[in-house]
Amino acid sequence: MLGIHQRLAELYTLSCQRPLTSDEETEQRHCLQANAMYCWEMARLNNEAALAADTDDAQWQQEISAQMYEVRVTGRAGRRRN
pLDDT for res 37: 93
Confidence of residue 26 (pLDDT cuts 50, 70, 90): very high
Q: Where are the domains of the chain?
A: 3-74
pLDDT for res 56: 97
Is residue 82 predicted with pLDDT exceeding 60?
Answer: no
Is residue 1 predicted with pLDDT exceeding 80?
Answer: no
Distance of alpha carbon 49 from alpha carbon 71, whole angstroms? 14
Predicted confidence (pLDDT) per residue in 28-79, tens digit = 999 999 999 999 999 999 999 999 999 999 999 999 999 999 999 988 877 6
Distance of alpha carbon 80 from alpha carbon 73, whole angstroms? 17
